Chain A
C-alpha cells in the first residue's frame, strides 16, 4: 500500500510537481516533545524552561495569599474578584483567578518538572549533571505542590498528561510527598554534587540549589508538623547564602507584571495596615512598601517598593525564615530561652551582608515574652514582617490558630468540571468567617 502511494506520487512529481507529496510535514516553528527529550541541548533548555515557568507562575500564589491575608488590598476600581476577596465576601467563586490561576500554573510547573526528572538520564549527560537535573526537578515539583497545598485543602498527586482524572490526596499524604521529594533531592545532591556544566549552563543565576532544597525541607516539615525535622533542616541552611529568582531584560517579576504593568495597575496594592500595625522603628516596612495612604476599595493602600520594578528579584526564601522556624520549634517545645535567642537574631540586626530586610529593633527579654503563647505571638508577628508577600502568611495564620477570611480556596472550576474524581465539597467556596474584620 505504502509503496504504491509513493509510486503514484513519483508520477505526479515528474509532472512539475511539488513537495506536495510529503505528508509528514514538521512544524518549522517549534520542536516536538520527541525531539526535545532526545537531545542534551534541548533537555538542558527544558531545565531552564522549568525555572522560567516557576518564576513566571509565582505571582499568582503570592498575590492570592496576599489578598486573602490583608497583605494586599483591592484598588478602588478593579476586577470584581479582587473586591470580593478583599472583603472576604461569601460571593467568591471558583472561576476567579484566585482559584484557577495558582491551580493551573503550579500544575504546569509539575508537568515540566516531571519531564526533566524522567529524561535526565536518557540523553547522555554525565552523572553529576544528571544529579543536578534530578535535584532541581524534584525541588521545583516540591515547591509547586507546596504552593498548592498552602492554598487548597487537598490536591491530586498522581498527575500526568495522560491521567485525565487523578485522585485527590489528603494533606498528610501531600505534605509527605513534598517532604520526600525534597529529601530525595538533598540526598541526591549531597551524594553527587552537581557538575559545573549544570551549574553554569542550566542553573539560574542567583539561585542556590542545595540551600533552597534544605530551606524548603525546613518550611514544609514545619507545615507538616514534624518539628524536629524542621529544626534540623533549618539548621543545615547556610545563613550567609542568598538565593533568589532573578529577572532579566526579557522576563519580568510576575507580581510587578500583574500588579503594576499594563492595564492592571489598579488591581491591588499593599494594604496600609501592614505598615501602620508594625512595631515602631521596624526597618523591614520600608524594605517592602512605600507609604501612600491612598484610598483603596475597602481600605487605604500603600505602594509597592520591593516589587515596583520589573527586574526586582523575588527571594527563594529569606534566611531569617530559618531562624523563625527554629524559634517556633523551640517555642512549641517550650524552650522559651532558645526561642527568644532566635527571635532576637531576627529583631536586632541593623545591617546585613545579604540584600535581606533587617528589622533593627531592640532585643526582647523573657520579661517581654514571658509565656509560650506570648512567644508564639511574637514569632507570628516577626513572620508577618520578615516574610511579607512570601506566600506564607495564610498557612501561618492557620498554624497559629488565627482567624482567616477563607479557610481554603475552592479548587479551580476547570478541575471540577473535567476531573471526575474531584471531591465536590472542594469545588464550592467555603463561607467566610464573619468575625474577621479587615
Chain B
C-alpha cells in the first residue's frame, strides 16, 4: 500500500514556533491579497524567489485566510509570521474564523485522488480534481491544498482550531540558480 501525505493539526508542531519571525497584520481585503503577498515577499532573498512559485504559494495561503477564514469580514484581520533565508521559507498565517472543519474529509478526498493518479485512472480522477465545500464559489479552484502539500516540503500543519497554518519550504544548498 502506498503512503499518501496527510495534513495534520497539532498546536505543538515545531513549525508553530514563532521565534525570530517577522509579524504583520493585514485586513481581510480580498482585492489586496496579492499586494499583501508582495509585501511579505520583499523580505525574501533573491535565491528563493525562483520564478514566482514561492509568491504563488504564499498567496494561496493568504487568500484562504482572508476568504475562507474571515469571509472577507472587514472587522477581522489575518496575522502573518514569516522568515526567509537563502535556504528556507517559513510562514504562519492565522485568521479569526472557525477553522478548516473539513480537514478529515479533505484527507480522505486526497487519498482517493492520489490512488486515481497512481493507477492512472483519469476518468475516475475527474471526480477528485477539485475539492468543493458548501462555501466554494466559481473562483475557487479547489486544488490549492493539493499543490501546497507538495510544495511545502519541510511540512504543512494546522493548529488544533484549524484557523492557523504553518508551512516550511526547504531549498537545497549549493543549488544552481536561474533568474527569470
Q: Determine if chain A interacts with chain B.
A: no
Q: A-contacting residues of B (Cβ < 8 Å)?
A: none
